[in-house]
Amino acid sequence: MNDREAFNTREGWRVLGAALRSQKWGLIGGVAIGLAWTVGKVAVPQLTKLGIDRGIEGDGSLWLWSGLVVAAAVIAGLFTAMRRWVAFRESRLIETRIRESIFAHLLKLHVGYHDRTSTGQLMSRASSDLQQVQAFVVMIPLTLSNFAMIGAVIVLLVTSQPLLAVVALAPLPFVNVLANRFSRRIHPAVLAVQAEQAQLASVVEETVSGVRVIKGFGAERVQAEKLRVEADDIQRVSLEAAKLRSRFLPAIDLLPSIGLIAVLGMGGHRVINGDMTVGDLVKFNAYITMLIWPLRNIGMTVAMAQRSAVALMRVNEVLSTPSAVTDPSVPKALPTGDRVGALEFDHVRFGYEGSEPVLDDFSISIPAGHAVALVGGTGSGKSTVVRLLTRFHDVADGAIRIDGVDVRDLTLQELRSSVGIVFEDTFLFNDTVRANIAFARPDASEHLVESAARLAGAHDFILRLPEGYDTVLGERGYSLSGGQRQRVAIARAIVSNPRILVLDDATSAVDPSKEHEIREAMATVMSGRTTIVIAHRPGTIALADTVVLLDQGRAAAVGTHEELLATNTRYRQVLAAWAVRDDDGDDDSPAPSTEANRDAVTGEVVRSRAVTKSDEGLV
């Protein structure tokens, strides 16, 4: 184990320790029940000895001793059920606490972390790894009560027959030695198994999430081969771990039985010689038999502890990761009033980790209630502007201000509730239409939800769904068309009522012939609201008051669409390149800049303006 793994393991145990302390009273209760169980278990052989020596060979009161044995066994049985129930209850509560902690931390981590980390790896840590922890925690009160029983039995054996006790307990040190060696050997093997399980989970998660791409390319065999490789790796490392268990666990199981064999041999001769009674021999054998399972259980407990240590190490890798974007220590509040939403990018500079700056000295100022379209080629930084505005990442230099307040001085909750985004790739949850629209405000009234749907142009098609607003959408909302999903997303933005709205290429995935339907909804929700429109289709650009051309990380030109079209060659090149991609579906097409392209783009804008004016009366 390297230093980093050792550190994560220690920190992982601290995570478990904190969770155990939070449930200390329940665990103490479980231990107390286990001690009561120990008393009942230990009493049975002693009462059996007295029943044999006095009830059979003595005064004949057999029924009395038999009744006492039954009573002790019933008490032990009741406490057995209680200690297991308490152990499982506490272990599940601790598992739940840790799972809630890791889930909350995952939500706090910045978007860059999620961009780099496999979803399958995170799912593995929040599910299978925590199940390993739960399996170990459930053994804690059980093992403590087992150790209490072992201690009580050893004391009773030594005080009654010291020599025989030494013979019976002689294998115990060897059990301890084997358990320690087993613990050291099994740790890296278990780590390998859980790492491979996480890799398999990643393949399965990617396959399920990308099933449409897989089917579209007929790549089922490719994914099946990936799964086969990972499954074979799991089989290989699992068999290596099983081989280690097969070498150590049988010996750990066998050693306590050797003591029992020795007791039967020596004890039998002592009974024949009159040095001990039959009841003593039966009691002694019963106690030795009671020791076998707890001693055998040591190996299983050690293996569980190692699996739990590995799982806690992996969990701590997530919990110990700091977020690069956090709330300020002394947050400020956004001003209120009738005219809010002024936005300023002040000499912003930013580059993703390991890459050249995407934005370099980017500066624009958007008055409250004003709509600005960001236009640029692929990789020009349009979506990066949105990521910085919502603090998915923080700027390297410069500042972004909303109504004069630096976004870094706001709590993330206030900032992100003030900025509504309609993403290019609309994500809808596997929930009802109503719940998807009211996602940001689950307490939104039915009237508000339906009003938002009407404004977004979604109400009519929602009513045609099998259950209307209560229709449960499938995975990512793929049961709806692209345009329908976009309209639901726009309705979701309306319900959130943000002071700044971002439309991130919201019509790029929609058929151009249906684009005007989405534009109508966009124009409605944009009215009187500060809006950033990321677009490349002239009809969508026409919704904005001002156009900003992004080029080489800067605001290369600012003006109306007509002004830039008439005066800026680079602007015409960008629009013409996007027009070719829309027609051909080829992202690698060259960027033509001929007068014919300019005329074609201009014609599309004129047509889009005409549709917008006639349909909306807003432009």
What is the rounded CA–CA span in Å between residue 523 and residue 543? 7
Q: Provide, rounded to the nearest whole percent, the portion of the chain with pLDDT above 90.
A: 9
Nearest Cα neighbor of 522 from 425, 415, 619 is 619
Query: CB count, 10 Å around CB of 387?
Result: 18
The predicted pLDDT at position 59 comes to 62
Q: Which one has a higher pLDDT value, 47 or 398?
A: 398
* 466-489 per-position pLDDT tens digit: 899 999 887 777 778 877 888 888
Residue labelled with tokens 């009366």: 617
The predicted pLDDT at position 510 comes to 56
Task: Work out whether the CA dihedral 525, 527, 528, 532 comes out positive or negative.
Answer: positive
Res 567 pLDDT > 60: yes
Q: Given pLDDT bands bounded at 50, 70 and 90, which one contains residue 402?
A: very high
| β-strands 530-534, 371-376 pairing | parallel
Measured in whole angstroms, the distance separating CA 181 from the mean position of its chain's CA atoms is 34
The predicted pLDDT at position 611 comes to 34
Average pLDDT over residues 579-598: 47
The predicted pLDDT at position 398 comes to 93
What residue type is assigned to position 149 of the chain?
A: M
Task: Show the tokens assigned to 433.
Answer: 């239409």
Greatest mean pLDDT among 157-166, 395-404, 472-481 lies in 395-404
What is the rounded CA–CA span in Å between residue 36 and residue 168? 25
Res 62 pLDDT > 80: no
The predicted pLDDT at position 159 comes to 84
The predicted pLDDT at position 601 comes to 44
User: Using an 8 Å Cβ cutoff, are 518 and 583 in contact?
Assistant: no
Task: Show the tokens assigned to 156.
Answer: 């009773």
> What are the backbone angles phi and psi of residue 463, rounded to the nearest 5°?
-65, -25
Residue labelled with tokens 């029992």: 260
Q: Pseudo-torsion of CA 533, 534, 536, 538, nearest 10°?
A: 0
Average pLDDT over residues 87-100: 86
What is the rounded CA–CA span in Å between residue 612 and residue 538? 12
User: Using an 8 Å Cβ cutoff, are 319 and 203 in contact?
Assistant: no
What is the rounded CA–CA span in Å between residue 421 and residue 490? 9
Q: Which one has a higher pLDDT value, 523 or 235?
A: 235
The predicted pLDDT at position 613 comes to 34
For 343-348+361-559, give the CATH class.
alpha beta
> What are the backbone angles phi and psi of residue 113, rounded to the nearest 5°?
-65, -45
Residue labelled with tokens 């602007």: 571
What is the rounded CA–CA span in Å between residue 38 and residue 83? 11
Mean model confidence pLDDT for the chain: 79
Q: Given pLDDT bands bounded at 50, 70 and 90, which one contains residue 409?
A: very high
Least confident of 35-44, 257-266, 391-400, 460-469: 257-266
The predicted pLDDT at position 582 comes to 59
Average pLDDT over residues 401-414: 92
* 3-state SS, one letter per residue, for 174-199: HHHHHHHHHHHHHHHHHHHHHHHHHH
Average pLDDT over residues 230-256: 83
Q: Given pLDDT bands bounded at 50, 70 and 90, which one contains residue 399?
A: very high
In the chain, domain spans:
3-319, 343-348+361-559
What is the rounded CA–CA span in Å between residue 566 and residue 601? 11
**β-sheet bridge partners, residue 566:** none
* 438-452 per-position pLDDT tens digit: 988 888 889 999 988
Task: Show the tokens assigned to 13.
Answer: 């145990």
Res 491 pLDDT > 80: yes
Exposure on the CB side of residue 245, measured as CA atoms within 13 A: 19
User: Using an 8 Å Cβ cutoff, are 506 and 486 in contact?
Assistant: yes
User: Using an 8 Å Cβ cutoff, are 84 and 143 in contact?
Assistant: no
Burial of residue 489 (CB within 10 Å: 0-12, 13-18, 19+) is buried
What is the rounded CA–CA span in Å between residue 331 and residue 483? 39
What is the rounded CA–CA span in Å between residue 346 and residue 341? 16
The predicted pLDDT at position 225 comes to 86
What is the rounded CA–CA span in Å between residue 365 and residue 370? 10
* Residues whose CB is less than 8 angstroms from the CB of residue 419 and which lie 6 or more positions away in sequence, other chains included: 389, 390, 402, 498, 499, 500, 501, 502
Task: Show the tokens assigned to 414.
Answer: 């206030």
**β-sheet bridge partners, residue 551:** 554
Q: Given pLDDT bands bounded at 50, 70 and 90, which one contains residue 406?
A: very high
* 339-360 per-position pLDDT tens digit: 788 999 999 999 887 778 899 9
Res 400 pLDDT > 90: yes
Average pLDDT over residues 289-311: 75
Q: Given pLDDT bands bounded at 50, 70 and 90, which one contains residue 596?
A: very low
What residue type is assigned to position 555 of the chain?
A: A
Q: How many residues does the chain have?
A: 619
**Domain spanning 3-319 has what CATH number?**
1.20.1560.10
**β-sheet bridge partners, residue 350:** 359
The predicted pLDDT at position 514 comes to 58
Nearest Cα neighbor of 14 from 244, 316, 350, 271 is 316
What is the rounded CA–CA span in Å between residue 267 and residue 288? 12
Q: Given pLDDT bands bounded at 50, 70 and 90, which one contains residue 512?
A: low
* Residues whose CB is less than 8 angstroms from the CB of residue 319 and which lie 6 or more positions away in sequence, other chains included: 11, 15, 101, 102, 105
Res 401 pLDDT > 90: yes
